[in-house]
């Protein structure tokens, strides 16, 4: 026992002091990587350090490129992509934000009116399209399930190479990349029929399309809760950022996440009287209990939500949409944040503004409401790129 305690202390001592920090700025991340680079730390050491931090600011792809010389290998590169996805909803560092003065009330109203027209006409009238969505999935480790849960599972997916001072279940790693052929009507995805056994394979999938721009802008307008927030750089140009809030009575978005276990006890048990009752002696019990697991999609309609619009101040085009569902602590989905970036894409010989990238950040209760295997949360991150846009039927 003493030997195990000493080993644990040595592991903790091997983790640099900064790795215990809960949140780092982008500048602090750069300093950390430069320090590790000077110390000639291995790819595994840098990856371990990156696993144990959270960013308080958005990590962009250009910033990742500038830091690439300090990222020594595949494991640490993977963790940089994890940090990019986890920080996708956060603001840029103050040093990267425009210092332009806020728009006055009249200019704000004029720009929002222009954006409303864009969302309800130009974007809403996009033709029916097909595309390929390439999605990277990142997920934290899988908790071992009790045999009585009726689910297959073990702790074999858990990385135990170096525990340090942080629970290894919190480590998020790359799982896979998938290409999905999708349809798109009026700028909103049409998801294909999905027969994958999500849940039993220890993964989740969002079964509703990502929120549509026209619907979200209309509901936010109807709620009367669009407010000026700040300027921010998007693709090297200033964008006007407005926050919004949509209460339940105005919200019509749906959330569907697959899949969660539902457990039923099945079997027959016959019990004889226990010793000393009704004069019977030597009683015993016999039975045959089994646990059957069905996997069900978790669904909620009309969830309240909030988020941000990033609007081109010249054209009124929405360059980015952030939507964050407001779930309750008792729900099995604790977080469902989605960001969609829009950009110019050539479809045939015509330029169109369409989704080009998307991020989804989720936190779910692994075992749903069943309690199977105990209570545990899982983080799954999705980073998607859209390509090969074509007119439907071409």
Which pLDDT belongs to residue 170? 60
| pLDDT higher at 196 or 342 | 342
| Mean pLDDT score, 5-34 | 62
pLDDT band at 17 (very low <50, low <70, confident <90, very high): very low
How does pLDDT run across 71-113, given as a tens digit for each residue?
999 999 999 999 999 999 999 999 999 999 999 999 999 999 9
**Nearest Cα to Cα of residue 237 among 108, 359, 92, 131:** 92
C-alpha count within 13 angstroms, C-beta hemisphere, residue 363: 15
111 SS3 class = helix
For residue 63, which phi and psi values (nearest 5 degrees)?
-65, -40
| Mean pLDDT score, 263-269 | 51
- Per the structure block, which two tokens stand in for 300? 């909620």
| pLDDT higher at 137 or 268 | 137
pLDDT surpasses 80 at 269:
no
Which pLDDT belongs to residue 375? 59
131 SS3 class = strand
Which pLDDT belongs to residue 367? 73
What pTM did the predictor assign? 0.81
Which pLDDT belongs to residue 393? 80
| Mean pLDDT score, 148-156 | 34
How does pLDDT run across 234-259, given as a tens digit for each residue?
988 999 999 999 999 999 999 999 99
Distance, in Å, from the CA atom of 142 to the CA atom of 374, rounded to the nearest integer, reads 13
Which pLDDT belongs to residue 147? 39
Which pLDDT belongs to residue 266? 46
| pLDDT higher at 6 or 199 | 199
pLDDT band at 275 (very low <50, low <70, confident <90, very high): very low
**Nearest Cα to Cα of residue 336 among 355, 359, 320, 366:** 359
Share of the chain above pLDDT 90, in %: 64
């Amino acid at each position: 026992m003493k030997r195990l305690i000493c080993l644990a202390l040595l592991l903790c001592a091997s983790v640099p002091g900064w790795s215990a920090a809960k949140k780092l700025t982008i500048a602090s991340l750069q300093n950390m990587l430069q320090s590790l680079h000077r110390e000639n730390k291995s790819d595994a050491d840098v990856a371990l350090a990156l696993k144990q931090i959270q960013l308080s600011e958005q990590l962009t792809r250009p910033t990742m490129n500038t830091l690439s010389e300090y990222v020594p290998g595949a494991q640490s590169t993977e963790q940089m992509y994890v940090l990019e996805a986890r920080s996708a909803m956060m603001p840029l560092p103050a040093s990267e934000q425009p210092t332009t003065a806020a728009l006055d009330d009249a200019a704000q109203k004029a720009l929002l009116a222009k954006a409303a027209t864009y969302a309800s006409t130009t974007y809403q009238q996009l033709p029916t399209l097909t595309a390929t969505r390439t999605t990277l999935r990142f997920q934290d480790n899988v908790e071992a399930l009790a045999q009585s849960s009726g689910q297959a599972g073990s702790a074999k997916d858990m990385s135990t190479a170096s525990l340090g001072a942080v629970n290894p279940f919190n480590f998020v790693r790359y799982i896979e990349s998938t290409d999905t052929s999708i349809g798109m009507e009026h700028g909103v995805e049409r998801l294909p029929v999905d027969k994958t056994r999500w849940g039993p394979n220890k993964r989740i999938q969002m079964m509703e399309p990502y929120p549509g721009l026209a619907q979200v802008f209309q509901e936010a307008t109807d709620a009367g809760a669009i407010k000026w927030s700040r300027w921010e750089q998007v693709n090297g140009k200033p964008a006007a950022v407005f926050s919004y809030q949509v209460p339940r009575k105005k919200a019509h978005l749906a959330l569907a996440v697959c899949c969660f276990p539902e457990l039923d006890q099945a079997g027959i048990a016959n019990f004889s009287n226990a010793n000393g009752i009704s004069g019977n002696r030597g009683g015993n019990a016999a039975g045959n209990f089994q646990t059957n697991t069905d996997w069900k999609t978790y669904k909620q309609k009309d969830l309240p939500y909030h988020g941000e619009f990033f609007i081109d101040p010249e054209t009124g085009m929405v360059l980015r949409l952030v939507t964050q569902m407001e779930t309750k602590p008792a729900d099995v989905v604790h977080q469902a944040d989605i960001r969609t970036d829009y950009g110019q894409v050539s479809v045939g010989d015509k330029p169109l503004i369409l989704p080009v990238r998307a991020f989804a950040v989720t936190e779910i209760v692994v075992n749903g409401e069943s309690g199977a295997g105990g209570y545990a949360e899982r983080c799954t991150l999705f980073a998607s790129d859209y390509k090969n846009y074509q007119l439907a039927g071409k």
